Structure formats: structure tokens, C-alpha cells
Amino acid sequence: MSEQLQLRRGTAAQIAANTPAQGEVWVDTDDFRLVVGDGSTAGGYPTPKMSEMGSLMVVAKAVNANLVADTPLVIDLPDGVTRYRVTRVTALAPSISLTTAQAAVYNASGGTGVAVCAPQALAGLTTNAAATAGNAIDLTLALAAATFFIATTLFFRITTAQGAAATLDVILHIQPYD
């Protein structure tokens, strides 16, 4: 025999007129969100929707493009969020025109694990002048947009060295998924 759990529910106005008990969860039928009570705050605390969370960025500055190595991208998720999806990886502001360097993003160090972005040329990075063509490129994601991750660190990896001193910046764009 199956059981059904029903949470207390009401319109936004009905919830605002009440003070949900500590830990009590209401369903706001106007805004289609959960509201959690603390026992003392009128209306409780509405939880954000995914569309309201936006995206987060992780930035790595001056990544050495002349050394086959990993640069850890540490992901600091908001409280209560345990998974996310990668929406974009941007390489930008090269110190020189990158003619040889290639890079990828993995969920484990040493070029192991799942490739978020498979190895690809950075040859589109030709200048560090702001607002100029050749200043930034988005790497091609290797996985479907619906793929989510739980790893707290991803690794930007130079897979082929430039052959001369060179650096670039990297921005990992993620969207919280919970």
C-alpha cells in the first residue's frame, strides 16, 4: 500500500498571514515554490526557484599555457546545493597569440575522469586587448547540457603546451541544479 505525503499549502497571501512553525514546509500555490518556517518569521522563508539562482562563475587567472598541467577550478556552491551543470567554459586574455596550445576540462586531475570539454585548440585566442575579436573563446562542451556534476573541483588542463611563455584566464560558468 502506498502512502501520499501532502504538505500544507496556500496562496502567497495566506502564507504571508501565517507564521509557519520551525521546520514546517508550505507549498505556495501562487508562485509554485516551497516556503520554510522558523517559528517566528511571518510568511516564512520562500526557497528560490532554479530560474532565480542564475549562474555562478569560477575564475582562474594567468593559467600557464606552456606547461601540460592541471589548474583546479574549485566550485563553491550555495548552501543546500549539491549538484550543478556546466553551461560554458571561456578562455580569454592570452598573454600572446596562442598558436599551439590546447586545453580541456575534466572532473578528475591528470586528464582523467569525464571530459567536460574534450581537448581543443586555443588558436582562436590571438590578443589580450579588451573588446577585440580574438580576446575570448568558448570551449565546446563534450557533454549534453542536461548533464550534472557533484564534484567540488573541476580541472582545466593544458593538454598541449604553447612552446613559449604564455598565460590565459579561464572562466567556468555553472548553474546550480538543486
Question: Any idea what the CATH number is for the domain that residue 12 is in?
Answer: 2.10.10.30
Same domain, 43 and 58: no
Query: Are 14 and 28 within one domain?
Result: yes
Looking at the fold, whether 131 and 96 belong to one and the same domain comes out as yes
State how far the Cα of 113 lies from the Cα of 108, in Å rounded to an integer: 5
Distances (CA, A) of 139 to 54, 117, 165: 20, 7, 22
Same domain for 86 and 42: no
User: Is residue 158 within 8 Å of residue 102, measured between CB atoms?
Assistant: yes
In a domain, 29, yes or no: yes
pLDDT digits (tens, 9 = 90+) for 72-128: 999 998 888 889 999 999 999 999 999 999 999 999 999 999 999 999 999 999 999
User: What per-residue confidence (pLDDT) applies to 22?
Assistant: 94
Q: Please name the residues in contact with 96: beta carbons below 8 A apart, sequence gap of 6 or more.
A: 162, 164, 165, 166
**Residues 103, 120: one domain?**
yes
Do 29 and 64 share a structural domain? no
Question: Residue 115: CB partners within 8 Å, gap ≥ 6?
Answer: 104, 105, 106, 142, 143
Residue matched to cell numbers 516556503: 35
Q: Residue 54: what pLDDT?
A: 73
Range of the domain at 32: 8-47
Same domain assignment for residues 120 and 79: yes
Within this chain, do residues 12 and 59 fall inside the same structural domain, yes or no?
no
Q: What is the pLDDT of residues 135-153, one digit of tens each?
A: 999 999 998 666 889 999 9
| 42 and 63 assigned to the same domain | no
CA distance 81 to 103: 28
Distance CA 98, CA 137 (A): 12
pLDDT of amino acid 145: 62
Judge contact between 175 and 87, C-beta under 8 A. yes
Instruction: Give me the number of domains the chain comprises.
Output: 2
pLDDT category, 2, cuts 50, 70, 90? confident
Specify whether 168 is located in the same domain as 118. Answer: yes
Percent of the chain with pLDDT over 70: 96
Pair 27, 62 in one domain: no
Do 55 and 85 lie in one domain? The reply is yes
Give the SS3 label for residue 103.
strand
Question: 2 lies in a domain?
Answer: no
In a domain, 133, yes or no: yes
Is residue 3 a part of any domain in this protein?
A: no
Cell, residue 25: 514546509
Question: How far is residue 44's CA from residue 36's CA, in Å, rounded to a whole number?
Answer: 5
Alpha-carbon separation of residue 130 from 90, 96, 137 (angstroms): 14, 14, 13
Please tell me which residue, 50 or 114, carries the higher pLDDT value. Answer: 114
What is residue 131's predicted lDDT score, i.e. its pLDDT?
87
- φ/ψ bin of 62: left (φ > 0), alpha (ψ from -120 to 50), beta (otherwise): left
